[in-house]
Copies of this chain bind each other. A is one copy, B any other.
Amino acid sequence: MSANHSSPEILKERLCYQGRKFNFEVSHIRLPNGMEGEWECIRHPGGALAVPLTPEGKLVLVDQYRFPLKQRLLEFPAGTVESSEKAAETIKRELEEETGYRAHQWQDLGKFPLAPGYSDEYIYSFLATDLEQLDTPPDQDEDEDIEIALYTPQELEKLIHSGEANVDAKSIASYYLARPYF
């Protein structure tokens, strides 16, 4: 690493807000060029996401209300990685809770940073296949209001490229990470 790429120095970190799923921190930083200032970010334990594909070739998405945007979005099932869990465990649980499907085959699709301007969250993506619809699905989280929606890959691509998709970044990115497998 050259001198030009030395890292900023963190002079002070302050926990600004402690939430249920993540914290918000403000750091006082000195950049390599000597400039000082406050940088703020969300500290997040990571998210795990499934691209579930049924034996009939349909993708399973969730349609849910998102409070920050005050509207419903179409997303792949996902959840916050709990401190006691690995991402692969989180997503098995979340897939069943959110969709009522159990997957018997899992393929690790890799990870990517979600919003690196203000969050340290990584999304861990998995392809979920050999799906079984559970007779008695586990209860959804009490604060969730989720409906499932089935799309063929062609239908989803058309929606994504329509420009008014309301499909979020992690779902678009994960779809294309999974695409070579189906």
Interface residues of A (CB under 8 A from B): 4-5, 7-8, 16-17, 19-22, 24, 26-27, 29, 31-33, 35, 37-42, 47, 65-70, 72-73, 75, 108-121, 123, 142-143, 145, 160-170, 172-173, 176-177, 180
> Which of A8, A108, A114 has the largest count of B CB atoms less than 10 A from its CB?
A114
Residue of B nearest to A167 (CB): B112
Q: Smallest CB–CB gap between A28 and chain B, Å? A: 12
Q: Smallest CB–CB gap between A16 and chain B, Å? A: 5
Q: How far is the CA of A126 from the CA of B10 in the complex (A)?
A: 35
- Whether B72 pairs with A168 at a CB distance below 8 angstroms is no
Q: How far is the CA of A69 from the CA of B145 in the complex (A)?
A: 32
